[in-house]
Copies of this chain bind each other. A is one copy, B any other.
């Protein structure tokens, strides 16, 4: 709770206990106090705030009445998992579908929750958004709005022709092979809806992208992890033979979460193996253009000679996540099929952003921006590595840096558990993603992902300092509760 601001205001008409309750409720809402975290004892908080113990007791009672915390005699008061079954009106209780019950993991959802200004978050995968070419974007937006009625009108499900053409030209495919998406995650979701029957197996990088794991699990897939290492094709062939997977999902370039890149030769071998077994590949190429210096190996899709590979990509990491704009490259017939599913999901994506980004791609500004982004990301990775070396106890956290992408994948020393560390870290004002989220099984307990690119260097240093204090203190706030993943209604 050290960074949670509890500035009570005597001029406020609400009683003090109520102000306290509201401030804590807001901090819980912002994710500064995570489920399982213990609040300060009533006595300690009273002393810290200079208030009577009764005020604190009443504030905690009110929080408990709102279902936000639960007190355990002798152990303290803990933040509850976000679930409020008693508020569900009778008509809606117990109505939830099986597929939705598989979709109750809030990890993806929590990543986009805005933390308080005091919190330093290494959790979401953010590029250096401060480099976004805002002036240029504003001018293009205004010009498109003034000129092109397609910006606001009904638009084709497949995407604005201008953007499909621009993407087709850039990636050397035909416009009919391009589907415009509301971000890469929509591509993963559409493909899951198109391809997965409950019980189907799919193979996925282990560790791999948490959005894909959750989406495929939500669709009822059995997820078979594949350790993406040189020479790991035997393991993949075993998985193909044993589970007959519907497809392989992989993120071969500056991978999320590890940052690793598959070598060109391994890519060719992988494609040969996939062709032999007619195994479709979904290639998440989100980080393909985010190498710091030398370009990475070509994407699988470009090396593919058998129409095996669907490429998913997004402008979320190269321009801005708030654009919600991605794309997918696939054989034209697959695009047609996916468009029918997208028509049901959101009918079509907004025209304005598509037309603006099509203009941006047409000029040189986008490639210039990518160059600046790469340089800044390299600088921020350096800043984080320096800070980790400087401010962390030796051996507390081990990482290997790669020359691209947005992430450092770290292993905690000793028996330290990343989810427990996160609970303490959130209270200390620093966030990351615990490794568990990237494993389809129960791996990753001692690993975590730090995103270096979304935070300016000074703030990186401060965030790492906060982590360092926690790790130096050793097993600090460890008294956490198991998190339920139950449906809410």
Give me the interface of A with B, judged by CB distance under 8 Å: 82, 84-85, 87-92, 95-100, 103-106, 108-109, 111-114, 124, 126, 129, 132, 134, 137-138, 141-142, 145-146, 149-157, 182-183, 185-186, 189, 193-197, 200, 211, 214-215, 218-219, 246-247, 274-275, 278-280, 306-308, 320-324, 331-334, 336-337, 339-341, 343-353, 487-489
Contacts and interface: CB of A to CB of B under 8 A. Distances in A.
A347 B214 CA distance: 12
Nearest to A84: B333
A85 B341 contact: no
Nearest to A354: B322
B138 A152 contact: no
A346 B487 CA distance: 20
B124 A344 contact: no
B193 A97 contact: yes
A346 B324 CA distance: 8
A307 B92 contact: yes
The 7 closest A-B pairs by CB, nearest first: A89-B307, A109-B343, A152-B320, A152-B322, A182-B346, A337-B488, A322-B351
A346 B153 contact: no
29 contacts: A84-B333, A84-B336, A89-B331, A91-B275, A91-B308, A95-B195, A96-B195, A96-B337, A97-B193, A97-B196, A97-B197, A98-B197, A100-B193, A100-B194, A103-B341, A105-B340, A108-B347, A112-B154, A112-B155, A112-B157, A114-B154, A129-B153, A141-B142, A152-B320, A152-B323, A183-B346, A189-B346, A324-B350, A333-B488
Given A145-B134, A157-B112, A185 B346 contact: yes
B156 A145 contact: no
B186 A279 contact: no
Given A183-B347, A322-B153, A340 B106 contact: yes
B100 A337 contact: yes
B345 A91 contact: no
A142 B141 CA distance: 8
